[in-house]
Structures are given as structure tokens and as C-alpha cells.
Structure 1
Amino acid sequence: MSTELSPTDAEQLRQLLARFSHAFDNADDEALGTVFAPDGVIELARTGAVFTGLAEIRAFAKELGAESPDHQTLDSVLTPDPDGTVSGRSRYLVLLADGAVHNGEYHDRYVRTPDGWRIAHRRSVPRYPLARRH
């Protein structure tokens, strides 16, 4: 397995990271299926909450409702793994409904599916100030 991503794979993964914010922040059921693997996982490090599978991820996004945080993903580093997956580490900024801002990191694992790259596992690790939700 190559230790470098092809330019095509790198661009597809960057597009995936961009789609996450649009899909999740708008609780867009269809778009979430283009972001997460069917058995994908979101793990919130601060609370220990875990959402497994598209149904739980979709419910989590909807639960946040009109006051859903507004996510911005940046400074992503992508590393191919020997098993064909890709590890990712990204910084994020989140704007809360009250105007507060917090930041953190996403620790991701991406898998190639027949429909393209998807997030298999995302661990959200807040830095400061700590988020007040979930």
C-alpha cells in the first residue's frame, strides 16, 4: 500500500470534509449518507457519547435542531494507513447559537466505499473553551 495519497484521493477526502459541515449542520439525511459510512461512528470525547450507524448520526444531527452549532473544518492532515484506510486529523471551529466560539480536533478514519470515501469513525476532542452542548 502506498504511503502517499493520490491527488484524486486527497481532493475527494477534502471534499468529504467540506460536505460534513453542510450535511451535519443542516441535518440533511441524504447528504449525511454521502459523508458517513453506513456503520460510521461519532464519538464525543468530552461526554463519552457515541453515535453508531447512520440512523443514530442522523438522529443526533436532528436533535440539535435550530440551535445546532455551525462547524468549520480546517487544517486537515491526511495519512494513508497500510490497511487502505486513511487517518485524518483536523482542527475545527464551532459557532454556537449564542455567538460563543469553541475549537477542537477531529480524529478521523476514512474508508473507501463503492460510493466514494466516507468517515468510518470521528472522535471529536474539544480544546477550549469547552462546548456547553453534548
Structure 2
Amino acid sequence: MTRSKLSLEERVQLLEDREEILRSLIDYGELLDTRDLDAWAELWAEDGEFEMSTGRTARGRAAIREMLAAVIENNPPAVIHMEMNPRIIVDGDTARSTMLYGVGRTQDDGLTRVVWFGHHHSRHVRTPDGWKIHYRRNTVDLPETGHP
């Protein structure tokens, strides 16, 4: 259905849905940066699936959390995720999104540099607890040498 055929109530709902999904996309990076993996895991649907750019895949919220805990254990704490250019398409109780992201890391010389750029390709699902990530595939478009 085109936007012009939506009622005002449907248009407001669409805006609220997009805002909630956008908030979860932004929270994703912030929660990783602060290493709050419990809150980060709550962004995922119980049966979610995460396909990392490294080829690692996990299914289920607990397995996804465990996989990320192992990844960040070997990463320095001074990491920042930058989420940009969101595109969110809502279709009823499901949605898909793409978002450009960059990762900055403090180097041995004390300077923070962007070390890679990529895209999140996600599918979202509406649950009784709000919108959750049901599937995400990360790609790295401009990698650093030795990307973990």
C-alpha cells in the first residue's frame, strides 16, 4: 500500500515503528562500545540469527550473546561504533534495514582511527516486547589488515 493510501493512524504507526527500529540500530553500537552485552542481547529476537563478516554465525539470543562476548574479549576496550545512513522499510510486523557502520579503535600510539567500514543488513520482527533484530549479516567493505 502506498503512503498516500494510508490513514493518519497508519502513518503515525509507521513513523513510530521506524523510530523504534532506528533506536535499536543506534543502541546496537552504543551497547557494544560500553560492553553491556546483556542489554545488547535484548535487541535480538529469541530465535535471532547473526552472521558476522568473519563467517561466524550464531542462532538464538543466548548463542549470539556468547559469540559476541568471545569476540570482544580479544578486542581492546577503546572501540567505537559509528552507525550511519539508515534505510528502514517496514512491512506490517516485519521490517528490513541496511545501515553503514564504521569502527574506530584506539591504536598503540594513543590515536583513535577508523579501522573499517561496512554494512549491517538486518531483518526485524515486531514482538510483544517491541521490535527485535531477527537476522543480521555484517559485511566489511573497507577492511583493515588483520580484521578479527
TM-score, structure 2 as length reference: 0.76
**Partner residue, 2:96:** 87
Q: Which amino acid aligns with 1:40?
A: G
**Partner residue, 2:50:** 42
Task: Provide the C-alpha distance between the structure 2 equivalents of 1:22 and 1:2, rounded to a whole number of angstroms.
Answer: 34
1:53-95 deviation line (CA, Å, top 9, x unaligned): 122222223221352542111101011246x310101000111
Task: Provide the C-alpha distance between the structure 2 equivalents of 1:106 and 1:30, rounded to a whole number of angstroms.
Answer: 20
**Partner residue, 2:8:** none
1:79-118 deviation line (CA, Å, top 9, x unaligned): 1246x31010100011134244210000000011100001
| Greater RCO (Cα-Cα under 8 Å, separation 6 or more) | 1
Correspondent of 2:22 among 14, 21, 31? 14
1:21-57 deviation line (CA, Å, top 9, x unaligned): 1223333243124311112121123x21102212222
Q: Secondary structure at the match of 2:142?
A: coil
RMSD across aligned C-alpha pairs, in angstroms? 2.4
Query: For residues 100 and 51 of structure 1, do their structure 2 counterparts lie closer, same or farther at Cα, with a shift above 3 Å needed?
Result: farther
TM-score, structure 1 as length reference: 0.83
Q: Which moved more, 1:99-108 or 1:117-126?
A: 99-108
Task: Provide the C-alpha distance between the structure 1 equivalents of 2:2 and 2:42, rounded to a whole number of angstroms.
Answer: 25
Structure 2 portions without partners, runs of 5+: 4-10
Count of residues in Structure 1 that have an aligned counterpart in Structure 2: 132
**Partner residue, 2:69:** 62
1:26 aligns with 2:5: no
